[in-house]
Structure 1
Amino acid sequence: MKQLLGLFFTLPLFVTAAENRDLHFSTSCDSTNDVAIISVIGDVLIHDAIYKSVVNGSKDFSQIWRRSVPLFTKADFAIANLEGPAAMGIDVSGRDHGDVGFIYDKVVYSGTNFSFNYHPRILSDLAKSGIDLITLANNHSLDRKAIGIDRTLEAANKIGLPTVGTRSSSDRSGKFYKVVRIQDLDLAVIGCTEMTNGHADTKEQLLFCYKDGKEIENTIKELRSQVDAILVYPHWGQEYNNSPDSSQKTYARRFLEAGATAVIGSHPHVLQPWEKYITKDGRETLIAYSLGNFVAYQKGLEKKTGVVVYLGLSQSANQKGKVVGALYSPTYRDGTEVFPVSKSSDAAEEASRYFGTLNRLPANESAHAKMCGNN
Structure 2
Amino acid sequence: MSVPSSELTRRMARFRDRMNRDCPDWEVAGITGKVNLYYFTGTIQDGLLTIPRDRDAVFWVRRSFERAIAESAFTDIRKMSSYRDAAAVTGKVNKPVYLELDEISLAQYGRMQKHFSFSGVQPLDVQVAKVRSVKSPYEFSLMEKAGKIHRHVLEDCVPDLLTEGIDELTLTADLYSVMVREGHQGLMRFGMFNEMLLGQIGFGTSSIAPICVDTPGGISGLSPAVPMSGSRERKLKKGDLVVIDIGCGVEGYHTDKTLSYMFGKAIPDEAIRAHERCVEIQDEIASFLKPGAIPSGIYSTIMAGLEPAFRENFMGYGQNTVKFLGHGIGLEIDESPVISKGFDEPLEEGMVFAVEPKKGIKDVGLVGIENTFAVTPGGGRSLTGTHCGLLPVY
TM-score by length of 1: 0.26
TM-score by length of 2: 0.25
More helix by percentage: 2
Larger RCO of the pair (alpha carbons < 8 Å, separation 6+): 1
Higher-Rg structure is 2
